[in-house]
Amino acid sequence: MEIVAVTDDRGGVAEARWLEKAERVHRQLRPQLPADSGYAARLREIFAAGARMALAVEDGAVVSVALWRVVENTHEGRRLYVDDLVSDAASRSRGAGRLLLAWLEARARSLGCGVLALDSGVQRQDAHRFYFREGMAISSFCFKKRLK
């Protein structure tokens, strides 16, 4: 298994074929993303706003997807924030998520981040067990209000 960075440091897509291959796994977490060429177009907009993508790949197939960005805030300073982290349902518990999370942690350190953070929906209990096992902790509540 290897990690493939889909985006370069400026948010450009290094290899479009990987973005196409990531879609099936990414949709397992985010089914609401636009279909067909709309997926790539939407992701390119997100990359232009600072997001990056990395994949865990095994035998040419994407088994895990991470969408991440570096942000600065007054509370923690520089942090690597993970928008999305999902492993293919058919490949879970085979180490892809752990490998990708370790890569994200190393990337955070190399970028001078003091924190690796992500939000996870309250319904994702299997994911929460994984995050706890990987040394993560719940540090706050996330409040939101939907705006029309």
Q: Which residues are 54's β-sheet partners?
A: 5, 66
Report d(CA 108, CA 70) in Å as an integer.
Answer: 8
Q: What's the order of all strands across the beta sheet hosting 52-58?
A: 2-5, 52-58, 61-73, 77-87, 115-118
Closest residue by Cα to residue 6 from 64, 54, 72: 54
For residue 136, the model assigns a pLDDT of 75
For residue 95, the model assigns a pLDDT of 85
Taking only the tens of pLDDT, the chain with its 148 residues reads: 899 888 887 777 877 889 889 999 999 999 999 987 899 899 999 999 999 999 999 999 999 999 999 999 998 899 999 999 999 988 877 888 889 999 999 999 999 999 998 876 656 766 767 667 777 777 777 777 788 8
Q: Which domains does the chain have, with CATH numbers?
A: 2-133 (3.40.630.30)
Q: Which helix (H) or strand (E) holds 115?
A: strand 115-118
What residue has token string 């981040």? 113
Supply the pTM of this predicted model.
0.84
For residue 37, the model assigns a pLDDT of 80
For residue 123, the model assigns a pLDDT of 64
